[in-house]
Amino acid sequence: MLVLLPPSEGKAAPSAGPPLDLRALSLPRLTPARRNVLTALTRLCRTEPEVARAALGLSQRQAHEVAADARLRRSPTAPAATVYTGVLFAALDHAGADPAARARLDDWVLVSSGLWGAVRLTDPIPAYRLPGGTSLPGPGRLPTFWREPLARALRPVAQDQVLLDLRSGTYAAMWSPPPARTVVARVVHEEAGVRTVASHANKATKGHLLRALASTLASAPDPQDPDELVDAIRAAGFVAEAQPGARAGAPLVVDVVTPGP
């Protein structure tokens, strides 16, 4: 099984660790594309910091993040699981998982990234700032840039795997997994019989869901098809309702229903 996650804008900068080495990252087929984006980002931040600040959507008070991006090649690295610190990753609590569940997470998860394309939780990366929708001189719009490299790199990885897609729209645009083997999970709130797509607790629910799946399946076989994955979500304690309708050419969309705020 593969689980596709978005990255978090919030990141913890490693205080020590080896400098960035693109060859140390998983999915080596992505190395040329990663180098292309990294070069474009660091050059822009170094030579035109105000242009870079605007491109990255940063305020004047966040100008230090431009300077940090300019020196990414020399920055210390740590496993991605400790660098990403947003709500989803806090709920996932990779460090607090028991060894069997943590091993499942390390095996399953691919984190989408505007800079790296995709990384494993164990990959050594520095803290960086590059939203997935950014346009950079050279690569252009990142969702468009990454489509072909990710398709080449992930096609053999995804072969015969069931995929759980928890990405947001920007990152989902970077790569479309095989629809017949993919479950797209949406978090919805239900209150007084009325359902709405969740916003407030969306990321936290996805983190808790993935942690629960890793614990539930820690000593069990991976799901072999989307229906088995939906059953596993339910066994992990979540209400999961597959959306009705034909699936020809589209992934299975499943609503994960939570009580309203």
Position 244 confidence tier, pLDDT thresholds 50, 70, 90: confident
> Dihedral of CA 79/85/88/90: which sign?
positive
pLDDT of 47 > 90? The answer is yes
69-93 residue pLDDT tens: 999 999 999 999 999 999 999 999 9
pLDDT of 200 > 70? The answer is no
Burial group, residue 242, by CB count within 10 angstroms (0-12, 13-18, 19+): middle
Q: And the tokens for 202? A: 């969306």
153-177 residue pLDDT tens: 999 999 999 999 999 999 999 999 9
Q: How many CB atoms lie within 10 A of CB 157?
A: 13
Q: What is the helix, strand, coil percentage profile of the chain, to 5?
A: 45, 20, 35
pLDDT of 41 > 80? The answer is yes
The confidence score (pLDDT) of residue 246 equals 58
Q: β-strands 124-125, 117-119: how paired? A: unpaired
Global pTM reads 0.94
pLDDT of 189 > 90? The answer is no
The confidence score (pLDDT) of residue 65 equals 95
Angle at 208 between CA 204 and CA 214, to 5 degrees: 145
